[in-house]
Amino acid sequence: MAMSGGVDSAVAAALLKEEGYEVIGVTLKLWPRVPTAPMVFRLSSCCTPETLEDARLVAAQLGIPHYLLNAERAFEEQVITPFCQEYMAGRTPLPCAVCNRDIKFGSLLKRAAAWGADCVATGHYARTVHDPTTGRVLLKRGVDPEKDQTYFLYPLTPEQLRRIRFPLGEMRKAEVREVAVQLGLRVARKPDSQELCFLPTGDYREFLRERYGEEIQSGVIRDMHGRILGQHPGVAFYTVGQRRGLGIAGGGPHYVVALSPQENAVIVGREEDLFADTLVAERVNFLPFDALQVERPVLATIRYRHPPVEATLSPGDANTVVVQFARPIRAITPGQGVVFYDPRDPDLVVGGGTIAQVLRNAPGSAQPLPASGPRSG
């Protein structure tokens, strides 16, 4: 049982024990404690002594063994470094999906196998179902629409899902809190974490300055016709759809439409320029089948809690797919995930991938937005 020190994993562990499982609590130490960091960072980080102590004491309260495993090096190499490199390449990363695939489940499934454990469980709000036709284990949304986390879990494979349990998938957050109170768990009223675990203040720009300050160069802000409108301190500090902090006087409002690290330029336009109806996704993972062979209707979402939109998937090249939406979508962002759901069962995850390129129109007449940077990481 992956125990973060929060209420969700605590209740999940309690439920598993009640069901008769032999539960082993495990906490991954992902991020080093930095004594010189600002106090808000040290108090909010996922790996503070307080958080680790909460996990240990909850395990003791439940009467289960608890282990602290150091995953700092893997987290640095597989999550933090690609996170920074994606921003440097003009893309907006989705580190939680990478962490789930490679760290939280990838490493823990290996550890479980080494310990002779049957499954790995977490406090994610999601469900697994067995497809009797194919024998595959598939992923479904959690019943709480406000807490569903399948957007971050799409990279998991059917083989991984076969050995994963989500005890909270059939519950709503209010029910989880109620169970925690009834059990007297010390974390029953602990607030939910809202930011990236390694960015508790939410300021990724300062994080990048500390690591890549010498490599980040100022450049021009231009419109889609090439007219220079201002200067920027670094492409990595901007995201598609951004309006504030551009420093452009007059003629506005302006929005970041695209980023071009090749020319070190931030491209801006009107709000209507943010809309596009087609994207190319790479590193695609499908759950009901291995690869897309023919066109397929889906419901697609381009960011967490973004309402799914009717779309058509078409096979691309080298594990890519073309996603054409039924209507233009605002601020499709390279580097973020696009996740596909089944129109016949909107809770069922068909798959997902990383947004690689944004196109203006339908395939055949589509033109790439003047943005796409080289893939890094």
Task: Give the tens place of pLDDT for each residue, 161-174.
Answer: 999 999 999 999 99
Task: Give the tens place of pLDDT for each residue, 212-238.
Answer: 988 999 999 999 999 999 999 999 999
Residues 6+ apart with CB under 8 A from 309: 299, 300, 301, 325, 326, 327, 329
pLDDT band (50, 70, 90) for residue 251: confident
> Tell me, what's the pLDDT at 36?
43
Kindly tell me if the per-residue pLDDT of 73 is higher than 80.
yes
Domains for the chain: give ranges and CATH numbers: 7-183 (3.40.50.620), 217-269 (2.30.30.280), 276-359 (2.40.30.10)
pLDDT band (50, 70, 90) for residue 19: very high
Is residue 33 a contact partner of residue 45, using CB atoms and an 8 Å limit? Answer: yes
pLDDT band (50, 70, 90) for residue 201: confident
Handedness of CA 315, 321, 322, 326 (dihedral sign): positive
Is residue 326 a contact partner of residue 310, using CB atoms and an 8 Å limit? Answer: yes
> Tell me, what's the pLDDT at 369?
56
Kindly tell me if the per-residue pLDDT of 23 is higher than 60.
yes
Mean pLDDT of 97-124: 94
> Tell me, what's the pLDDT at 74?
93
Is residue 251 a contact partner of residue 238, using CB atoms and an 8 Å limit? Answer: no
> Tell me, what's the pLDDT at 319?
82
The separation between the first and the last C-alpha atoms of the chain, rounded to the nearest angstrom, is 30
Average pLDDT of the chain to the nearest whole number: 90
Kindly tell me if the per-residue pLDDT of 306 is higher than 70.
yes
Task: Give the tens place of pLDDT for each residue, 182-196.
Answer: 999 999 999 887 678
pLDDT band (50, 70, 90) for residue 264: very high
Decide the pairing of beta strands 309-315 and 66-70.
Answer: unpaired
Task: Look up 96 and say whether it is catalytic.
Answer: no
Task: Look up 99 and say whether it is catalytic.
Answer: yes
pLDDT band (50, 70, 90) for residue 368: low
> Tell me, what's the pLDDT at 346?
97
H or E, element range at 219: strand 219-223
Region of 250 please: left (phi>0), alpha (psi -120 to 50) or beta: left
The proportion of the chain whose per-residue pLDDT surpasses 70, expressed as a percent, equals 90
Region of 96 please: left (phi>0), alpha (psi -120 to 50) or beta: alpha
Is residue 167 a contact partner of residue 142, using CB atoms and an 8 Å limit? Answer: no
> Tell me, what's the pLDDT at 361?
52
pLDDT band (50, 70, 90) for residue 51: confident
Mean pLDDT of 317-345: 96
Among candidate residues 47, 84, 96, 197, the one labeled active-site is: 197
Kindly tell me if the per-residue pLDDT of 46 is higher than 80.
no
Task: Give the tens place of pLDDT for each residue, 5-15.
Answer: 999 999 999 99
Radius of gyration of the chain (CA): 22
The model's pTM is 0.90
Kindly tell me if the per-residue pLDDT of 314 is higher than 70.
yes
Kindly tell me if the per-residue pLDDT of 339 is higher than 50.
yes
Among candidate residues 46, 47, 96, 99, the one labeled active-site is: 99
> Tell me, what's the pLDDT at 127?
98
